[in-house]
Amino acid sequence: DALLSAPRAEVQDLSTSSQDPGIADTAEVVAPSETPTPAPPRIAEAVIKAEYLLPPPSTSAGSDAAPAPSAQTKGRNKKRPRDERPKPADQLCRAVASRGPTACPFGAEKCRFSHDLASFLATRPEDLGPECPVFKQFGRCNFGLLCRFGSCHIDPTTGANLPLLEEAGIREPGLGSERTALLPKNVQIQLRKNTFPFKCPRRTNTPADALAAAAAEAADRGEDDLTPLPPKPVKLVDFSNKVYIAPLTTVGNLPFRRVMKRFGADITCGEMAMAQNILSGQPSEWALLKRHPSEDIFGVQIASPHADQLTRCSELIEQFVKVDFVDVNMGCPIDLVCNVGAGAALMQRPNKVKQIVRGLTATLSCPITLKMRTGWNERHPMAHNLMRTAEELGQGRIAAFMLHGRSRLQRYSKLADWSYIGEVAKGFEGAPAPSIPIIGNGDIFSHTEWEEHKAMGGISTCCMLARGALIKPWLPTEIKERRAWDISASERLDILRDFVSFGLEHWGSDQQGVNTTRRFLLEWLSFLYRYIPVGVLEVTPQHLNDRPPPFCGRSDLETKMASKDCKDWIHLSEMLLGPVPPDFSFLPKHKANSYGSASSTTQAEG
């Protein structure tokens, strides 16, 4: 939920305004006055060294440099362009491409895909590179002829896929599990047919149904069943003195988390998964629960407005997913989630939170965590009350509370309220301090900022990173070594190269996998460009909401990496994944990734 919009300018608190803070225009609203006073600057501006400054772009009346309130960029770009998939008859059968003409179990007559090897070899496009990441990592590429990097494992004369290289010694132990589906096929069929034997009953829709269900349950219970069993002991996750990468929608994927592990992240968590989609057996939602072997402390985040859905989902996680903790999303601010009562809307339903805590703690053998915001709006914070309620019901099975220092309506219009986080951790308004660790979250972008927050006392010594890790993936290293890293442009390109390699391993090295990897790379670049190199700054450290004036980098590559133009992002992707198709276009998911400027939200075409 930390990525639903990028930061905007800090605006004045207008108590009489009818606008929601989350959609407030960044322009200043000045009350009528006989003596006009100069308005303060809308946005804090980063101080760049004079030798790297560029002249400001020329603007004229009516230009889009200062968009009208209705034209401000906010929210998400919807109806974005998607890659068109070819028809099955125009695609080579994957079994044939990987294991030969006789490998398809359906045969050439019944298979929906093409078995014409000769025609495919005659029109097969050139490889995008000489080395296949999948073949290098696992010793065999199951995409065979479909692989866009297949020259290293395809026989040039016969087109056969080379066999497994057992003697090469390049297969890492345990990596085979990453390529195995989490959900068995028979369980997926049961979920789709609603025949899976869950222990938790479904939510009843009418009072009569509820009474009938309660009567049936009471009849099945004996007298000995009336005394509840003591809760099973669980081993809580120790979050202290660790760097935790928050769940990040869309961009917090498995390849990104592998990059973060290389830079010293200790704890990772999967993207938000909707419990309803998990219960229906959707493969795309189950993929969000996948864990890489390098993620030694790993959790998954689930969201739903219903306690029974979350409890049933936790039953599946308990049986089929290996995790160290389960995080309940109570902070997602987007309308699509809140309008159904999930995400941040759960904070307004304390009785529902009680049911969720009871259900999950009774089902899971691992601890749970609750991630929330300060409240629905900044005038009425409520997180401290929910923590007290959950703590009473958690029975020692809640490992931590994750508190984002913003309200739901506020979104990113102001800086995170760390003072409230500190008050809650020490005991809000004289109340006893919570016994469960409180991990603060919001706007951490340097080791000095984290040290300042930690010095407040009361909060956990776990450093939780969200947007800061997206813009500076080496931020865990800076925090642990307590230094500012003036990383070079070539080193940053190596980070992108690692991400591409991990992406091809995860999504596949065929054309569809290349397209998916490119899309997620471009989404990440829509955050990465906001980094200002340390050597270019006159005043350090850079703050997350600081807008830079026009500047150039110390090299052409560094200048291109700082560009807010989508076309430059596409060019960077072409350096790693080859040229894009002629009809390729990209539009970032989050409109506000360009500090409110319209330039980076313009659709770019290849």
pLDDT, tens only, 88-112 = 778 889 888 888 888 898 988 889 9
> In the chain, how many domains are there?
2
Specify the higher pLDDT residue, 268 or 91: 268
Residue 199 counted as domain residue: no
Of 437, 460, 481, which residue constitutes the final position of a domain?
Answer: 481
Res 541 pLDDT > 50: yes
- Same structural domain, 287 and 387: yes
Of the listed ranges 118-127, 171-180, 226-235, the least confidently predicted one is 171-180
pLDDT for residue 358: 92
CA 374, 376, 378: angle at the middle one, nearest 5?
60
Cβ atoms 149, 130 nearer than 8 A: yes
Element (H, E) at 505: helix 489-507
Of the pLDDT bands very low, low, confident and very high (cuts 50, 70, 90), residue 344 is: very high
Half-sphere exposure of residue 522: CA atoms within 13 angstroms, side-chain side: 30
Res 396 pLDDT > 90: no
pLDDT for residue 173: 38
- Same structural domain, 447 and 343: yes
d(C-alpha 74, C-alpha 143), whole Å:
40
Residue 531 counted as domain residue: no
pLDDT for residue 162: 80
Active-site residues, by number, are 332
Res 83 pLDDT > 50: yes
Give the range with max mean pLDDT: 56-70, 198-212, 484-498: 484-498
- Same structural domain, 132 and 269: no
Mean pLDDT of 260-268: 97
- Same structural domain, 259 and 367: yes
Residue 177 counted as domain residue: no
Res 403 pLDDT > 90: yes
- Same structural domain, 253 and 339: yes
pLDDT for residue 579: 93
pLDDT for residue 501: 96
Of 418, 450, 481, which residue constitutes the final position of a domain?
Answer: 481
Which CATH number is 263's domain given? 3.20.20.70
- Same structural domain, 325 and 428: yes
Give the range with max mean pLDDT: 41-50, 122-131, 271-280, 541-550: 271-280
Res 389 pLDDT > 50: yes
Res 76 pLDDT > 70: no
Q: Which domain, by its residues, includes 305?
A: 240-481
Of the listed ranges 208-212, 468-472, 528-532, the least confidently predicted one is 208-212
Res 412 pLDDT > 80: no
Residue 498 counted as domain residue: no
pLDDT for residue 231: 58
**Nearest CA among 45, 22, 24, 98 for reference residue 376:** 22
SS3 state at 373? strand
pLDDT for residue 164: 63
What's the first-to-final CA gap in the chain, in angstroms?
Answer: 30
Residue 229 counted as domain residue: no
Of the pLDDT bands very low, low, confident and very high (cuts 50, 70, 90), residue 87 is: confident
Mean pLDDT of 206-226: 47
- Same structural domain, 314 and 444: yes
- Same structural domain, 440 and 317: yes
- Same structural domain, 285 and 140: no
Please state, as a whole number, how many other Cβ atoms lie within 10 Å of the Cβ of residue 60.
Answer: 6
CA 336, 283, 515: angle at the middle one, nearest 5?
85
d(C-alpha 73, C-alpha 23), whole Å:
10
pLDDT for residue 299: 97
Residue 558 counted as domain residue: no
Res 86 pLDDT > 90: no
Res 477 pLDDT > 90: yes
Of the pLDDT bands very low, low, confident and very high (cuts 50, 70, 90), residue 207 is: low
Res 355 pLDDT > 50: yes
List pLDDT tens digits, range 542-566.
998 888 899 999 999 999 999 999 9
Residue 369 counted as domain residue: yes
Mean pLDDT of 488-505: 97
CA 478, 484, 487: angle at the middle one, nearest 5?
90
Of 423, 447, 481, which residue constitutes the final position of a domain?
Answer: 481
SS3 state at 315? helix
- Same structural domain, 334 and 434: yes
pLDDT for residue 168: 45
Cβ atoms 300, 326 nearer than 8 A: yes
- Same structural domain, 344 and 258: yes
Cβ atoms 518, 580 nearer than 8 A: yes
Mean pLDDT of 365-376: 94
Residue 312 counted as domain residue: yes
d(C-alpha 196, C-alpha 188), whole Å:
9
What share of the chain has pLDDT > 70, as a percent? 77
- Same structural domain, 327 and 465: yes
Of the pLDDT bands very low, low, confident and very high (cuts 50, 70, 90), residue 521 is: very high
